[in-house]
Amino acid sequence: MKCIVGEMSNLIRTFIFIALVALYEVHSAKITMEQMQQAAEPVRMVCIKKSKVTEDSLTNMRSGKLDEVKEFKCYVNCVLEMMQTMKKGKLMYDAVMKSIDTMLPDELKDDTKRAIEMCKDSSVGIKDNCDAAFTLLKCILKENPSFFFP
């Protein structure tokens, strides 16, 4: 258990560092898609390991197909929780909207905000956190097919 806690602690420190670098980049120059992908990589790696999602499911996601299997749904939940987009199956709407303003390049903000606004209630009433996260992502991608998801 100590190993997992230590690993998570190091991951959180790494993620905070990357987030601070990204925040600096936003204020000094616009953050790029490549920087977003790099910042999300530690989260991806932890969530892949935690959820046991298959590479096929991740490949399918990148091509627009979301696999309706528990491992993939729990991967989505893990990513959204680590990015503080969801907590216990609930969308953290205000925090997400603030993050969009702070972190995203201007050309992505409007479409992303619109998708979040359209989907903010899509997972309300869903008891299982993995199902709730999956439902939210599915809605967001329907509203904004170019939405970045690690």
pLDDT tens per residue, range 76-86? 999 999 989 99
Is the model's pLDDT at 50 over the cut of 90? yes
Residue 36 has what pLDDT?
A: 77
Domains of the chain (ranges, CATH numbers):
2-143 (1.10.238.20)
CA angle, 106 as apex, 27 and 89 as ends, to 5°? Answer: 95
Q: In the chain, which residue ranges form alpha helices assigned H by DSSP?
A: 2-28, 33-51, 55-62, 70-82, 93-103, 106-119, 129-143
Coil vs helix vs strand at 126:
coil
Residue 38 has what pLDDT?
A: 84
What does the pLDDT look like over 52-73, one tens digit per residue? Answer: 999 999 999 988 899 999 999 9
Residue 136 has what pLDDT?
A: 97
pTM of this structure: 0.77
From the list 57, 21, 63, the residue with the least C-alpha distance to 130 is: 57
Residue 29 has what pLDDT?
A: 47
What is the pLDDT confidence band of residue 26, given thresholds at 50, 70 and 90?
very low
Residue 107 has what pLDDT?
A: 85
Coil vs helix vs strand at 105:
coil
What does the pLDDT look like over 74-122, one tens digit per residue? Answer: 999 999 999 899 999 999 999 999 988 888 888 889 999 999 999 999 9
- Tell me phi and psi for residue 87, to 5 degrees: -145, 120
Contacts of residue 6, Cβ cutoff 8 Å, sequence gap at least 6? none
